[in-house]
Structure 1
């Protein structure tokens, strides 16, 4: 089985508790107004990667707390992610998943069962530009909700984490930002720094 992936970041500290391996899936039918990840919308983009390759790559990582699924819309590829999540949990790592859907709707679809059963923390709800709120970790708008699906995490984690953004620049000069914050404002600051050089 293969997963259509936009990007994989093997270590980040801004996409959930601790240091995490992050998988941005490719493909999203939601198209939230103001989405910062419109490049992940097309279902024909990204690259197809064998699930077993991703599982092996995660297993090879040292000092990670867990894996985060985002996108794109993870629940548009629930079967492949369910297999990955199950293996991640068996290895003693945690799983965090972002979705634009509501958990109540996800539970109706039997294809989502394996993935839902292997998520520790689910953050649900579409990004709503008229409800922007960066005060809570890992959320972009006030309508988004936390669901602790296992006992691994609880609301005490909120005191430990604040929203942050990481900026990575590849050798070829491509800027990749991840995390939660006002990306437009950050890009303007980066442009100002580049102009001063």
Structure 2
């Protein structure tokens, strides 16, 4: 059992935090403090509440309509070890795992614990939100500097491979 800090109870039925119907795990605490952040209430490390990863796993196991989970926040890669059993349980249930991070892929792979969580993620939306690069037609990301990365292909090819989910965004000139 791992303890983690959450910003809110898990959200079931999200359709904007990745494809399909998703469960979102909202982590609390973020070092990036991006101006005009979509979730500024998740930045403080003191707010939110403590939860057991086992309880979140049970919640995911009891949900039946979702196609995946999304790790968001806050900054999920600030709590990688506590999120690993949650991501592993999702994989075992046949769910895909997305993560949103203000860290870049390169920053994540440079840190042993963050990298351990990344290896359990299917798709990473990386990079800090930049309000001047915001475009409301962007799909699954907030600003055009962010990348939607196919993690499994990127790890196999030792370079960043964008997900096909970013194709619509590329057509917008991002």
Q: Cα RMSD over matched residues?
A: 1.7
* Alpha-carbon separation, structure 2, partners of 1:118 and 1:97: 10
Distance in 2 between residues matched to 1:129 and 1:154, nearest whole Å: 23
Matches within 5 A, 1:1-197: 1-7=2-8, 8-150=10-152, 154-155=163-164
Structure 2 Cα separation of the partners of residues 37 and 22 of structure 1: 13
3-state SS of 2:152 partner: coil
Contact persistence 1:86–1:115 (CA under 8 A): no
**CA offsets per residue over residues 36-77 of structure 1, 9 Å max, x none?**
211101101111110000001001001110100111011111
Q: Measure, in 1, the Cα distance between the counterparts of 2:43 and 2:65.
A: 31
Structure 1 stretches of 4+ with a deviation exceeding 6 A read none
Q: Which has the higher strand share?
A: 1
CA 156–49 in structure 1, closer or farther in 2 if over 3 Å, else same:
closer
- Contact 2:101 2:124 survives alignment (8 Å): yes
Counterparts of 1:128 and 1:150 in 2: how far apart (Å)? 26
Structure 1: segments with no counterpart, 5+ residues: 160-197
> TM-score by structure 1 length?
0.76
Shift of 1:158: 5.5
- Tell me by how many angstroms 1:150 deviates: 2.9
Q: Per-residue CA shift, 1:93-131, capped at 9, x if unaligned?
A: 000000001110110110113211110110000000111
- C-alpha deviations, 1:161-194, integer Å up to 9, x for none? xxxxxxxxxxxxxxxxxxxxxxxxxxxxxxxxxx
Tell me the distance in 2 between the aligned counterparts of 1:74 and 1:156: 21
Work out the CA distance in 1 between the residues paired with 2:107 and 2:127: 11
Number of paired residues?
Answer: 158
Gaps of 5+ in 2: 154-161, 169-174
